[in-house]
Structure 1
């Protein structure tokens, strides 16, 4: 299953609602299910962050390596694309840290 921050947030919210309602009406089963759903949502959110951070690191490194290689070989044609890939990676890492 693909990691989705929006699905993770939905599970966190719905789990919290079930936990709260279950506690308010004395339904321990609903409360337990809510806590489990909330915890699962947090785990999925953390996994999505880790995946995004890793992807950002890969893009950042790839852009930097390609840029360095092109500089050494005198190929300046791809310089803008390489810088953009590196910046994209930096942004992804920042968003997922």
Structure 2
């Protein structure tokens, strides 16, 4: 989700608060944006935290910003720590379809 997408959803969400004063709408907007950013970033782990390779596939964020996909246990995690900054389990990035 991009910053622009978050702002668009926030605008729709806060437009429903017509009876509220400006300060309340501003606070709701800030809380919504903060919550969205927290959720997006909460699934990414630092490289010092070694993943459980029984839960694959994994995405790795390279220092250049490129995202790489791995579906097998790498031979040398310490080597990868030099070139990547974060990792995430793909299952944590997928939407929750439970009601």
TM-score by length of 1: 0.37
Q: Which structure dedicates a bigger proportion of its chain to helix?
A: 1
Higher strand share goes to which structure?
A: 2
Normalised by the length of structure 2, the TM-score is 0.36
Structure 1 or 2, whichever has the larger Rg, is: 1
